[in-house]
Amino acid sequence: MSVLKVIQQMSLGMVTWNVKLEVFQKTLQEQVVLVNNNVVIHMRMRLEEYNLVTNFLILSGTQMILTTTDSDEEENDKESYGSFPTFSMPKSMDQYKWEVGTYFTEKKEFIEIIRTYALANGKNLIFDRNDKNKVTVKCAGAKGKCNWYAYCAYMSAMKSWQLRKIIDEHSCSRDFNVKLVNAKWLSKKMEKTVRENPHMKVMDFRDKVSRKWNVCISRNMAFRAKVIARDDVDGSFTEQYRRIYNYAHELLRGNPSSIVKVKVKNIDGEVIFSRFYACLKACKDSFVACRPIIGVDGFFLKGKYGGELLTTVGRDDNDQSLPIAFVVAKVENKDSWRWFLELLIDNLGGDAVGASCTFISDQQKGLLQAIQELLPGVDKRYCV
Ligand SMILES: [Zn+2]
């Protein structure tokens, strides 16, 4: 579209344009950036045209953003006028339209978004420049002929990053080899998968990545990403066990009168986690209104340290499940069930209450013996 055509449209009131004028000081060339419904047009123009546009814009009261930029958009980056949106992540970055002026809270966020965008659209973007104040991104698609370009800079007055320039048009086709994907980034994106399935095979990991984002990654990268994700997941497990006392205190702070127990073993001066029990007051109080039935079950925990989660649930008047208490133990056996049930019966009001309940179970290892020992003759039912 020619400059005159644009002016004509503007003067006829056909299109509302937000206009950003850029002056290339060194080359004394002017450029107009016209933004309309996320369509961005960059135009170099002759001085007469530039003056014409400027005058028209001033007269028509169009929102105008005047910026001064030097020939390679580096120095003298003056702040913009006007208000611009702050980036918010859409459901999908597929076909995302970039908007000049958009703010990003930090550089890391912008870079992350560029990666997500590159992957969602299969675009081989590369960071051309990436330093303290500026990031420029190019598209290496169409054998380097694609014009797509983004320039984001730190705006000290706003204390945030702003998309200063965007040429949001690709002439390239979808690329399955997106270089911005690296092992570190992938490991973060795949952490949940690895947490749930720590023994996943490298090939399955790779298949999952290619199905999810439609990109190819090397076996080597899949391997490295999996290792990083595993380390992060394991590290977070270790950290979580290390802070189990904090967790217990937090549960008690948020739920006064609840019962929380942490059992540890002391081996050669080292404190080792053994069991964890929690019965929140609200759950305990609600059990009074439930039928005198207690469902008991155990599950394997995934993750580095494994272990088992033992639970008890009640049934309320609306036939809804009510968690009563739970235990995390290393293994499910008579000893761990006994420890759990002893605490539970005590919390619910003692042997008399316990004996009046019916216990439903799947005949877990050691459970029946534990119940028999604690509450001889109590009603027991089995799940089918
Ligand atoms: Zn492109």
Residue 52: what pLDDT?
A: 66
Helix, strand, or coil (residue 131): coil
Q: Positive or negative, the Cα torsion across 368, 372, 377, 379?
A: negative
Distance 122 CA to ligand 1 centre (A): 9
Ligand 1 center from residue 240 Cα (angstroms):
44
| Distance in Å, CA 182 to ligand 1 centroid | 19
Residue 53 CA, ligand 1 centroid: distance in Å: 30
Q: Which residue has the higher pLDDT, 301 or 38?
A: 301
Residue 12's pLDDT band (cuts 50, 70, 90): low
CA 295–ligand 1 middle distance (angstroms):
58
Res 216: pLDDT: 82
pLDDT tens per residue, range 196-213: 888 889 999 999 988 888
Beta carbons of 208 and 225 less than 8 angstroms apart: no
Euclidean distance between CA atoms 221 and 206, whole angstroms: 9
Predicted TM-score of the model (pTM): 0.52
**CA-CA distance, 98 to 33, in Å (whole number)?**
14
Cite the DSSP H helix spans in the chain. Answer: 3-11, 47-60, 107-121, 141-144, 183-189, 191-196, 202-213, 219-242, 244-254, 281-287, 334-348, 351-355, 367-374
Cα(166)–Cα(41) distance, integer angstroms: 9
> Tell me, what's the pLDDT at 19?
55
CA of 140 from ligand 1 middle (Å) equals: 6
Tens-digit pLDDT profile for residues 143-200: 889 999 999 999 887 788 999 999 999 999 988 878 888 888 889 889 989 988 888 8
Report pLDDT digits (tens) over 53-106.
666 665 655 554 444 344 344 433 444 445 688 898 888 888 899 988 899 999
pLDDT at 42: 56
Distance 190 CA to ligand 1 centre (A): 26
Q: How far is the CA of 221 from the centre of ligand 1 (A)?
A: 24
- Nearest CA to 167 out of 124, 136, 133 is that of 136
Cβ-based burial of 182 (10 A; exposed 0-12, middle 13-18, buried ≥19): middle
∠ CA 64-65-66 to the nearest 5 degrees? Answer: 115
What is the percent of the chain where pLDDT is above 70?
78
Please report which confidence band the pLDDT of residue 317 belongs to, taking 50, 70 and 90 as the band edges.
Answer: confident
The CA 113 to ligand 1 mean position distance, Å, reads: 16
Residue-level pLDDT at 27: 41
Domain positions in the chain: 3-69, 83-180, 183-241, 244-382
Query: How many CA atoms lie within 13 Å of 335's alpha carbon, on the beta-carbon side?
Result: 5
Residue 196 has phi, psi (to 5 degrees) of -80, -25
Which residues are CB-contacts of 39 (< 8 A; sequence separation ≥ 6)? 168
How far, in Å, CA of 305 to CA of 216, rounded?
A: 33
